[in-house]
Chains A and B, each alone.
Chain A
Amino acid sequence: MFAYIIRRVLATIPVMVVVALFVFSLLYLAPGDPAAVIAGDQATPADVERIRASLGLDRPFVVRFSEWAWHIIRGDLGISIFTNLPVSRMIAQRIEPTLSLMVVTLVLAVVIAVPMGVVAAWKAGSWIDRAVMAFAVLGFSVPVFVVGYVLAYYFALGLDWFPVQGYTPLSQGFGPWLSNLVLPAVALSSAYIALIARITRATMLEVLQQDYIRTARAKGAGQRTILFLHALKNAAVPIVTVIGIGIALLIGGAVITESVFAIPGLGRLTIDAILRRDYPVIQGVVLLFSFVYVLVNLLIDLSYTLFDPRIRY
């Protein structure tokens, strides 16, 4: 088991290298020249050349990549072209709102979607099942920003239950923190819930056909025990897998949700950086998100052993 964890952690290194290479290539692939942007409209080609040289943009690709990668390994993500602040500090300032949003969304989605899928599978073919499936289609097809604005309109402006926008740090109390996150989290989770509920239903439908479910019934086990112990534990591996894959959905959605609800998080930072072609910031944020994604999926792989004793590493 321990050896396996080490192996898996080591196996993430090539993945991260490829990601880093790709992120670094953005500079070349993306249209627009940061030197020209910084130099401004009045600059002469010589000015632009000078700025490019001062940024080190004139050196060969391999040299720049190795140097950049070496810095990153030591935790130095570079200096923002625009604000002249270290990227790592900029990310550190913005990470709490985004992390909070993602954690609350994740918890909300799992707590709602899994029981929803279980009940839909149990009552397969009934109106409950059809309602869940209809919601799943809807949740997946309506964009996050539409859900976000609709929620803000009714529950913040109309009913005044939650703040319209903004973010309150956790250090100012759990209540205010959560109340600011409810609407964004609901908006962000709708597609995620749809995804998890569908997979839960499909997997549970298959598991409920199995002989050991009949054995559990013959023992006199109640419906809830059968569904949530005997069946769900067997269905867990595909479900947690899709939860992990869905993290990508959350990352993309978080960027949009933060814009809708004016949350000062990494999503906003990313959008601003893209608009300004602030490459070190873009690279830093994309690397961070990739790292989180790889890490979460590693944890999920390891969690399989908790659910299924046949999986041993």
Chain B
Amino acid sequence: MALLEVENLQTHFRTPDGGVNRAVDGLSFSVEAGETVAIVGESGCGKSVTSMSILRLIPEPPGQLAGSIRFQGKDLLKLTEREMRAIRGNEISMIFQEPMTSLNPVLSIGQQIGEALRLHQGLSKQQAEAKAVEMLTLVGIPAPDKRVKEYPHQLSGGMRQRVMIAIALACNPKLLIADEPTTALDVTIQAQILDLMRDLKHRVGAAIVLITHDLGVVAEVAERVIVMYAGRKVEEANVADLFRNPRHPYTQGLLGAVPKLGSSLEGETERLAEIPGLVPSLKQKIQGCVFASRCPKVTELCREVAPALEEKAPRHVAACHYAEREAIAA
């Protein structure tokens, strides 16, 4: 049994004008214990909504969740709010994109790390603070016994993200969801934070779902990659497989759009490849392939029939009529 099994997840939002926004539309994937899975896609593809759905942080209404999210066999969508609270921050925890605004400005660092510990492990105030100091040491913050009494505005962005990680890991979660954890940080700090996450993952043994649009980050830390587009999974493969041999035209486009360091200095004058157009509106049910409106290889068939997710190579699925299929070895 996988640690997390998401099946046919649908997160829809009712819009004020009576329509429905299908932010996530029939997404399935699973995460094994201790594994790092990246979910990539451009803005608005539903990756953040997916992560919020797993923790049931989507306000309902206007949100509406259907399908199933089984965590250690339990369907999270069937739990009461109280049961869900016992899981949040304890067995599943989350790191957010904005370290500058994700910490409460009026509570001390120690209080914020200690909160989950007091809530889930019943620690006293003193015990929680002692553990908070320990967590700060673990995430590499110097002078932790001084920092623990400080407030977020006294820390830099990178430090704050370390604090967020300390909060997330305080209760030894089995699953850590990291939603764009490095996007708001300087490149050098990004590398530090990624190193830290990788290091702690081995120490704590948590599985990680990494939400990002940064393929560099994916290559760095993920084992498996899920490519999302317009609320659906369009491709999934091992990280090496995906980078070496992307099957879906959208994935190919994403990889083509990554600039290479110093490419223009070496006389390469070619423009960076871009994917023309925008993600389609999620308010209408899309007939045919979701990527059809932007796909360079589009045909009549794509506009009419939605391609199913097929195994194009061993453990490599893609939803495209034309992705070449290899003989699947037995």
Contacts and interface: CB of A to CB of B under 8 A. Distances in A.
Interface of A: 210-212, 214-222, 229-230, 233-234, 307-310
Contact of B105 (A212, A216, A217): A212
Contact of A233 (B90, B107, B164): B107
Contact of A218 (B89, B98, B103): B89
Nearest to A214: B57
A76 B89 CA distance: 64
A229 B111 CA distance: 11
28 contacts: A210-B101, A211-B96, A211-B98, A212-B104, A212-B105, A214-B96, A214-B102, A215-B96, A215-B102, A215-B167, A217-B57, A218-B94, A219-B89, A219-B93, A219-B116, A219-B167, A220-B85, A220-B86, A220-B87, A220-B119, A221-B115, A222-B85, A233-B104, A233-B106, A309-B105, A309-B106, A309-B153, A310-B153
Nearest to B104: A212
A217 B106 contact: no
B88 interface: yes
Given A218-B94, A219-B88, A219-B115, A212 B167 contact: no
Contact of B104 (A220, A222, A230, A307): A230
Given A212-B102, A233-B107, A308-B106, A218 B93 contact: yes
A212 B164 CA distance: 11
B151 interface: yes
A174 B115 CA distance: 40
Interface residues of B, number: 28
A219 to B, nearest CB: 4
A216 B90 CA distance: 12
B102 A307 contact: no
Interface in B71-92: 85-90
B319 interface: no
B88 A215 contact: no
Contacts of A221: 85, 89, 115, 119
B107 to A, nearest CB: 7
Contacts, number: 72
Contact of A234 (B88, B105, B151): B105
A220 B91 CA distance: 10
Contact of B55 (A218, A233, A307): A218
B120 interface: yes
B119 to A, nearest CB: 6
Given A234-B104, A308-B105, A310-B105, 10 more contacts: A218-B88, A218-B96, A219-B88, A219-B119, A220-B116, A221-B115, A222-B85, A230-B104, A233-B107, A310-B151
A195 B120 CA distance: 39
Nearest to B88: A220
User: For B87, B103, B106, which residue has the most chain A Cβ atoms within 10 angstroms?
Assistant: B106
Interface string B203-223: 000000000000000000000
Question: Which of A215, A234, A310 has its CB near the most chain B CB atoms (within 10 A)?
Answer: A215
A221 B322 CA distance: 48
Nearest to A213: B104
A250 B158 CA distance: 48
A210 to B, nearest CB: 7
A225 B96 CA distance: 20
Interface in B134-193: 151, 153, 164, 167
A210 B105 CA distance: 11
Nearest to A307: B106
Contacts of B108: 309
A92 to B, nearest CB: 41
Contacts of A214: 57, 96, 102
A233 B87 CA distance: 26
Contacts of A309: 105-106, 108, 151, 153
A189 B78 CA distance: 46
Specify which of A211, A212, A218, A310 lies most central, judged by the most chain B CB atoms within 10 Å of its CB.
A218
